[in-house]
C-alpha cells in the first residue's frame, strides 16, 4: 500500500510524517511528495495544512496540475483522502481568512472566523479539547466519545449539509471538528499531535 502526504510547502509537516511512519512501522510505503504521478498512483492521500486558508490554497494552486490531480483522486476516482486542519478547511467552497478565497469545493460550505464572544474565548483556539462523536465514522473506530484532541485554529468549517459532520467540539459554539463524506475525511484537530487516540485515528484511516 502507498500512502502519500502531499507536500505543497504549507508549513512544517514533520509531525504528520513522523506519526504516519510510527503507525505503519514501515509496513506501508509512506511518501511525502508533490509529484503528480505518485499522487495519482497512491492508495490513500493525506492533505495537511498549516498557515492561513488563503496561503494554503495559493500554495496548492502554485503547483501546476496539483488541484486537478487531487480532484481526480478524491472526486472522480473516489480514493480515500484525509485532510488535516487547513487541509480539511480547503474542502469548502469558500474561506474568509485574510481575504475571500475559493476552496476546493468538495463539501459545500464556508470557512469563517470563530466567534470569540467579544474576547471571552481566546483565538487562536490552542490546546486539548474533548470531541463529541455525532456519527459512526470509519476514522473513529474504537475511539471513545469525549476523547481529547489537540487543536490550533482561529477559523472553523461550516458545512451546508450537517450530515457530513462526524464530530464537534465545544469552543465558543459547537464547532465542526471532523467530517466524513464517502471517501473524503477531515479533522480540524491534529491527530498527529493527539497522543494515542490521534495515532489510532491515523491507523483507522490507513486501514480503510
pLDDT tens, residue by residue, 113-142? 999 999 999 999 999 999 999 999 999 999
Residue 26 scores a pLDDT above 90:
no
Q: Would you place residue 10 in the very low, low, confident or very high pLDDT band (cuts 50, 70, 90)?
A: confident
Q: Where in the sequence numbering do the catalytic residues fall?
A: 85, 190, 192
By percentage, how much of the chain surpasses pLDDT 90? 95
Closest residue by Cα to residue 57 from 13, 16, 87, 34: 87
Pick the CATH number of 2-206 from 3.40.50.880, 3.40.640.10, 3.20.20.70, 1.20.1250.20: 3.40.50.880
Instruction: Indicate the average pLDDT of the chain.
Output: 96
Three-point CA angle 17, 78, 48, nearest 5°: 25
The pLDDT-based confidence of 174 (bands split at 50, 70, 90) is very high
Measure Cα distances from 200 to 15, 17, 22, 89, 176 in Å. 15, 15, 11, 22, 20
Residue 12, pLDDT > 90, answer no
Amino acid at each position: 500500500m502507498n500512502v502519500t502526504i502531499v507536500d505543497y510547502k504549507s508549513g512544517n509537516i514533520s509531525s504528520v510524517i513522523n506519526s504516519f511512519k510510527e503507525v505503519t512501522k514501515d509496513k506501508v510505503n509512506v511518501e511525502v511528495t508533490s509529484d503528480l504521478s505518485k499522487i495519482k498512483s497512491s492508495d490513500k492521500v493525506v492533505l495537511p495544512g498549516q498557515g492561513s486558508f488563503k496561503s494554503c490554497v495559493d500554495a496548492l494552486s502554485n503547483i501546476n496540475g496539483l488541484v486537478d490531480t487531487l480532484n481526480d483522486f478524491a472526486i472522480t476516482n473516489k480514493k480515500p483522502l484525509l485532510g488535516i486542519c487547513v487541509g480539511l478547511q480547503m474542502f469548502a467552497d469558500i474561506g474568509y481568512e485574510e481575504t475571500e478565497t475559493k476552496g476546493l469545493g468538495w463539501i459545500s460550505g464556508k470557512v469563517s472566523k470563530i466567534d470569540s464572544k467579544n474576547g471571552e474565548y481566546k483565538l487562536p483556539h490552542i490546546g486539548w479539547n474533548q470531541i463529541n462523536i455525532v456519527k459512526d465514522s470509519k476514522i473513529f473506530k474504537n475511539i471513545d466519545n469525549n476523547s481529547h484532541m489537540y487543536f490550533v485554529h482561529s477559523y472553523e468549517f461550516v458545512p451546508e449539509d450537517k450530515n457530513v459532520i462526524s464530530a464537534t467540539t465545544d469552543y465558543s459554539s459547537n464547532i465542526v471538528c471532523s467530517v466524513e463524506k464517502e471517501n473524503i475525511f477531515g479533522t480540524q484537530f491534529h491527530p498527529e499531535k493527539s497522543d494515542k487516540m490521534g495515532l489510532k485515528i491515523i491507523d483507522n484511516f490507513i486501514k480503510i
